Chains A and B, each alone.
Chain A
Amino acid sequence: MPYILNTDRDREEMLKAIGIDSIEELYSQLPARIKLTKPLNLSSGLSEHKTKKRVSALAKKNVPAEEFNSFLGAGCYDHYVPSVVPFILSSSQFLTAYTPYQPECSQGALQAIYEYQSYMCLLTGMDISNASLLDGASAFAEAVLMSLRITKKKKVIVAGIFHPEYRQTLKAYLAGFDFVIREIAEGTDGLVDTEALKQALDNDTGCCAFSSPNFFGLIEDAPKLADIAKRYGTLTVLVTNPISLAILKEPGAFGVDIVCGDGQPLGSGLNFGGPSFGYLATKKEYTRQMPGRLVGKTTDREGKCAYCLTLQTREQHIRREKATSNICSNQSLNAIGAAVYLALMGPQGLRNSALCSFNNTLYLYNQLKPLKKINLPFGPRIFNEFVWEVKNAQKIIEQLYRRNIIAGYYLGEQFPEYKNGILSCCTEKKTKEEIDELVGVLREVPGG
């Protein structure tokens, strides 16, 4: 049997040591009614070779994004992942260790996570970061819950264009509480309508959340939004793409209370949307209200520098029903991957990626502008994606698939008022030729 090392003889001797005759006796306390009388209806086990063939055959049926000229983004971005990142993450002692509960034999994981926390603080300009959460959408929901916990208020304002799956996640997370979610639509420029925001803010509001770049790729005036919200004594939550922070003002500099989002751009790859990791950074004064694990630096009994999980009393295995969140696990391996990624890239590399993504996207935007059949509903205050409209958008996406191009994410299903909308993204991996190809094909296709 694969992966089992006991031999028949071992088993016999072990049973004897226990004082029973058969394996079945180990299960004697199970009621007969619930015991399976025939084997599970699964195929019999395959050899490693045959398993490989079978799984590889499934993988071959897929066409990876890279084989297309793909402009998909929408929350999952095709940034380059340097070979060092998967190399480090496949080392056994990171890959196959448990949560570092025993600091003396987990210093590697602990220091790596401490470095991750530090990197996220430097990147966001915030005081502290947790050790990661499950993904961007759940991190967003946790951030909102955390704000409402701190302010002890009931209302959250979700301002502007959010990733639809983040909104859905927030709704599900809040379903068990008597909290109110108030959504503020965007203005005609695609940005938060500040007048509507001011009207919605009141003394019951405990949290005001916005995202920048928003789901349409537009950069909000985040400092101004934070200012407006603060006048009403509410906490502010900013969802952002961590790579954008290489060129956008660090949120810590303009007083946002919680910054969160998905760390996927920092070395996680596409992976059909998971795993990546959620990040959450905040001000020092909210440390104890923060969900998720934290690694702290301390000393060992000889006074040497050491690391350990700390402030665990916020967690559910101690606080139980009073914990800051019910979730203890995170995505440590991907968070460590982000630390490796940021160490490799350094300020210059990260800025290069961000600038190149921006320039590629801006180039595509400018190339589409002269096309009559294409409408650009918003200005070029963008980072790595933007919305364009074309008649029969869904059909055009299908046509382009046949030319081996994925034009982008179709907006119509989640945003009925943009039924001709397509969200296209360029990372630093896109080349001028690939962008020109998309523009060229769009020139040809009928429509408009």
Chain B
Amino acid sequence: MDRKTVFAKKTNVKEVNYVGPSGVPLQNPQSYLPQNLVRKDLPLPHLGEADVVRHFLGLAQRNFSIDTHFYPLGSCTMKYNPKINEDMAKLDGFVGLHPYQAPHTVQGTLELLYELEQMLCEITGMQRFTFQPSSGAHGELAGMLMIRKYHQAHKRNKTKVIVPDSAHGTNPATASMCGYQTVVVESTLEGLVDVDKLKSLVDDETAAIMLTNPNTLGLFEEDILKISDMIHKKGGFLYYDGANFNALLGITKPALMGFDVVHLNLHKTFSTPHGCGGPGAGAVGVTDALVDYLPVPLLKKESGELFFDYCLPHSIGKVRAFYGNFAVLVRAYTYLLRLGSQGLRRVAHNSVLNANYVKEKLKDYYEVPFPKRCMHEVIFSCKKQKERGASAYDIAKRLIDYGIHPPTMYFPLTVPEAFMVEPTETESRCALDYFIEAMRQIDREISQDLDKVKSAPHTSFVKRVDETKAARSPDLRWRENGV
């Protein structure tokens, strides 16, 4: 097997010019720049084009992906990424646009953004959306900065943000980026926010509560209206972390649950590919009260023409340059056109159905710590398996041998040996049955051949990776002569 890096594959190809001469007289930058500003050598390797293609395609083959494998990664909504989305995002009329072109030359793009914004407003019940944030956490930052600015403008002394103990780690991290102290509210044994405990935490200094609903345990927060009432009465806002919105598309709207700010992960709910970790898009919507604080610019229509309006005196400013990951937005728009109103509802239905089916078929093998009806994902605890010698980690690694990407493990932190399965709606019953059988088989293997599980995976390009060594003596880059 070829285990070389690109740097070990250098050839003697020297003449690389994809563009050709421009025809202008050539001058040496040295004559315009002081010597100390000029670079002496550029130590990059030379490679031939065919070698580059072979190298990187060879690497790609060592990845599991949603196109090639079942990928039930909890909280990540790894649904099938429709191929038409890719075709649309690559249209010349989109790819070739410069962000500072005059509005009259980009009306098609602005129309797309305008329509996408209206669709997301309808789906969530929000008033306006910004597309600038480029990931979920980036959306959280934008949303919480708006809340912060609102409170400041209204001279309210707000110091804390409440998050449940089961929250995504990004929630408390965002709260502290915005200068708020994080207060953690515990969950009940049933896995829902403990409303009584919450009551004792909410006061005049509460800026907001950040919630995921369904929560990270895959359960619907049934007391959401009580919670929103409690927070609103103290002048706080409800922030909706939309990571799990897939379960509720067309069933309810965050606005109906009392949320004031919403971020949607377009790369989860609206089928845009994850690209090994990005680019994504964390569109943020707000209700009336917060519209003035949205990042600049916002789309505006005047006498039939769309343009970007930068004149928003209360805006939080910008969270990145330009308008967000536009090519991702084209994909989400395409997906929404394909599905329409009925299609979205079907997404929710089948995502919840699939998760409950998996839960039902595995509950006699793996402990279900929260017996309530789950939404789009189900949490198992591998506690019993651990007692028999195999941890959630071992089981996850063994799944790779069955050609299945491991689920999310050890999250939420409140569940020991957590195993979080989100099958999504795009998996067939047949695929689910295969997963269920694999999980049962592994459970049997733990009794029959524990070592096989503990030393898994056996079929992958590399065997179990030594992550401790990686962290103890970090090797973070290639060097000419080793380390």
A98 touches B341 (CB 8 A): no
B155 within 8 A of A: no
A41 touches B38 (CB 8 A): no
Residues of B within 8 A of A428 (CB): 19, 22
A116 to chain B, nearest CB (A): 10
A79 to chain B, nearest CB (A): 9
B166 within 8 A of A: no
Interface string of B262-290 (1 = CB under 8 A from A): 00000000010111111110000000000
Identify which of B180, B252, B474 contacts A34 (C-beta below 8 A): B252
Identify which of B39, B88, B463 contacts A247 (C-beta below 8 A): B39
- Closest B residue to A426 by CB, please name it: B22
- Closest B residue to A57 by CB, please name it: B108
B342 touches A1 (CB 8 A): yes
Identify which of A5, A27, A135 contacts B352 (C-beta below 8 A): A27
Q: A176-B177, A245-B39, A342-B44 are in contact. Are A332 and B275 (CB under 8 A)?
A: yes
- Closest A residue to B140 by CB, please name it: A326
Residues of B within 8 A of A94 (CB): 60, 63, 65, 275-276
B475 touches A80 (CB 8 A): no
- Contacts of A1-23 to chain B: CB distance below 8 A: 1-6, 10-11, 13-15, 17-19, 23
B85 to chain A, nearest CB (A): 9
B428 within 8 A of A: yes
- Closest B residue to A65 by CB, please name it: B98
B345 touches A308 (CB 8 A): no
A355 within 8 A of B: yes
- Closest A residue to B397 by CB, please name it: A104
- Contacts of B86-102 to chain A: CB distance below 8 A: 86-88, 90-102
Identify which of A176, A272, A381 contacts B97 (C-beta below 8 A): A272
Residues of B within 8 A of A310 (CB): 467, 470-471, 474, 476
Residues of A within 8 A of B182 (CB): 320-321
- Contacts of B102-151 to chain A: CB distance below 8 A: 102, 105-109, 111-112, 119, 122-123, 134-138, 140-141, 145, 148-149
B463 touches A329 (CB 8 A): no
A76 touches B100 (CB 8 A): yes
Residues of A within 8 A of B119 (CB): 42
B43 touches A347 (CB 8 A): yes
B234 within 8 A of A: no
B235 within 8 A of A: no
Q: Which of B37, B108, B172, B360 has the most CB of A within 10 A?
A: B37
B14 touches A134 (CB 8 A): no
Q: A296-B475, A326-B140 are in contact. Are A107 and B462 (CB under 8 A)?
A: yes
A29 touches B22 (CB 8 A): no
Q: A78-B98, A298-B470 are in contact. Are A329 and B19 (CB under 8 A)?
A: no
B59 touches A111 (CB 8 A): yes
Identify which of A31, A326, A346, A356 contacts B47 (C-beta below 8 A): A346
B348 to chain A, nearest CB (A): 9
Measured between alpha carbons, how far is A271 from B102 in the docked complex, in Å? 15
B39 touches A246 (CB 8 A): yes
- Contacts of B5-54 to chain A: CB distance below 8 A: 5-7, 13-19, 21-27, 29, 32-34, 36-39, 42-47, 49, 52-53
A210 within 8 A of B: no
Measured between alpha carbons, how far is A90 from B159 in the docked complex, in Å? 46
A409 within 8 A of B: yes
A35 to chain B, nearest CB (A): 6
Measured between alpha carbons, how far is A228 from B360 in the docked complex, in Å? 67
Interface of B is mostly: loop
Q: A100-B277, A104-B462 are in contact. Are A270 and B97 (CB under 8 A)?
A: yes
- Closest B residue to A401 by CB, please name it: B102
A129 within 8 A of B: yes
A166 within 8 A of B: yes
Identify which of A99, A135, A273, A317 contacts B276 (C-beta below 8 A): A99
A62 touches B47 (CB 8 A): no
Measured between alpha carbons, how far is A176 from B319 in the docked complex, in Å? 13
Residues of A within 8 A of B202 (CB): none
A31 touches B466 (CB 8 A): no
B337 touches A29 (CB 8 A): no
- Closest A residue to B111 by CB, please name it: A58
B189 within 8 A of A: no
- Closest A residue to B478 by CB, please name it: A118
B225 touches A34 (CB 8 A): yes
Residues of B within 8 A of A406 (CB): 98, 101-102
Measured between alpha carbons, how far is A35 from B249 in the docked complex, in Å? 11
Measured between alpha carbons, how far is A103 from B334 in the docked complex, in Å? 32
- Closest A residue to B476 by CB, please name it: A128
B389 within 8 A of A: no
Q: Which of A153-161, A196-204, A219-227, A440-448 contacts B (4 or more CB under 8 A)?
A: A219-227
Q: A6-B428, A301-B463, A301-B464 are in contact. Are A329 and B32 (CB under 8 A)?
A: no
Residues of B within 8 A of A398 (CB): 102
Identify which of B18, B101, B135, B274 contacts A96 (C-beta below 8 A): B274
Residues of B within 8 A of A360 (CB): 22, 24
A326 touches B177 (CB 8 A): yes
Q: Which of A45-53, A229-237, A369-377 contacts B (4 or more CB under 8 A)?
A: A45-53
Q: A42-B341, A247-B39, A347-B44 are in contact. Are A329 and B135 (CB under 8 A)?
A: yes
Measured between alpha carbons, how far is A339 from B15 in the docked complex, in Å? 19
Measured between alpha carbons, how far is A163 from B346 in the docked complex, in Å? 45
Interface string of A167-201 (1 = CB under 8 A from B): 01101110111000000000000000000000000
Identify which of A40, A82, A269, A275 contacts B18 (C-beta below 8 A): A82
Q: A61-B107, A88-B60 are in contact. Are A169 and B47 (CB under 8 A)?
A: no
Q: A97-B274, A348-B14 are in contact. Are A175 and B316 (CB under 8 A)?
A: yes
A330 touches B353 (CB 8 A): no
The 3 closest A-B pairs by CB, nearest first: A273-B322, A64-B96, A59-B93
Given contacts A44-B341, A46-B340, A349-B16, 15 further A-B pairs with CB under 8 A are A35-B252, A36-B251, A51-B337, A132-B278, A169-B319, A275-B325, A301-B465, A304-B462, A304-B463, A306-B465, A311-B471, A321-B175, A327-B137, A344-B47, A359-B26
The contact sample of 28 A-B pairs, CB cut-off 8 A, is A1-B342, A4-B347, A40-B122, A41-B122, A62-B108, A106-B276, A107-B59, A118-B478, A121-B477, A132-B278, A175-B145, A294-B476, A296-B476, A304-B462, A310-B474, A316-B170, A320-B182, A326-B177, A328-B135, A328-B169, A330-B135, A330-B277, A333-B276, A334-B279, A346-B14, A346-B16, A401-B105, A413-B310
